[in-house]
Amino acid sequence: MARSVWKGPFVDAYVLKKAEAARESGRNEVIKIWSRRSTILPQFVGLTFGVYNGQKHIPVNVSEDMIGQKFGEYSPTRTYYGHAADKKAKRK
């Protein structure tokens, strides 16, 4: 069942606090968070979060198209090593 709109998106308070502190400091750092359930908000765009997957923190560079999704969606808890073959990495 979808969440009621009047409640607004859910974000753990400590995530907001850490993001705000990182933005104010202006330093290039990974914001370590354990809250996979928090929604990605517009004010997180441009920041890098280290989202815990139960084992380690996976770096997640937040971009505009990720707004509204949860942090946990970008930090898989199972690792699958496929073949490199002709797969390409793009440096943004």
Applying CB under 8 A, which residues contact other proteins? 27-32, 48, 50, 56, 58-63, 66, 73-76, 79, 81-92
- Containing 61, the helix (H) or strand (E) segment is strand 57-61
Task: Using alpha carbons, select from 29, 76, 80 the residue that is nearest to residue 56.
Answer: 76
Q: Which is nearer to other proteins, 12 or 57 (CB)?
A: 57
CA distance 48 to 52: 13
Q: Which is nearer to other proteins, 2 or 89 (CB)?
A: 89
Q: Which is nearer to other proteins, 8 or 29 (CB)?
A: 29
**Cβ of residue 88: shortest distance to other proteins, in angstroms?**
5
CA distance 35 to 16: 11
Q: Which is nearer to other proteins, 5 or 64 (CB)?
A: 64
51 exposed, middle or buried (CB, 10 Å; 0-12, 13-18, 19+)?
A: buried
**Cβ of residue 84: shortest distance to other proteins, in angstroms?**
4
**Cβ of residue 25: shortest distance to other proteins, in angstroms?**
10
